[in-house]
Amino acid sequence: MGAIPFIGWFPAYLVDFFGSLAGSSIAFLIGRKYGYPFLQKIFDQEIIDKIKHLKIKPHREIEAVTTLRIFTGSLFLEAINYGAGLLNVKFFSFFVGSVISHIVVGIPSFYLIGGLFDLNNLIFGILGLAIIIPIFLKLKGRYFE
């Protein structure tokens, strides 16, 4: 986001988008290959326990990955990337969910941050959060057991 004032919000977003997809995909494959022993080296036991107890409904994988990536903090986002392979999420579902979540969060974020340099769009960011948080709280039971 720091590049927005220099190259504009859309080119900055594209760089972030492709970098994020590459990094997330690599993390997914590392997690799948090396499993929980590897995750225990980079995350604390609390995060590992959350991953182990997370049950994603098989027919809702794309939606679950998208929802988790949109509504979790950055540390748990990394845990999702590494742990998704251990949760029997198919790579295709993980990748599609990652793309959707990045578009849903990334484009508005980069656009609004770009607009903050004009100080015109701050109200839209606040309204967006006020709308998104209650929706997640209402729908979380749809995706997770």
pLDDT digits 0-9 by tens, 47-79: 888 888 888 888 888 888 888 887 876 667 888
Which token pair is 107?
A: 């484009």
Q: Do 13 and 66 meet the contact criterion of CB atoms below 8 Å apart?
A: no
Answer with the residue of higher pLDDT: 57 or 25: 25
> DSSP code of 121?
S
pTM: 0.72
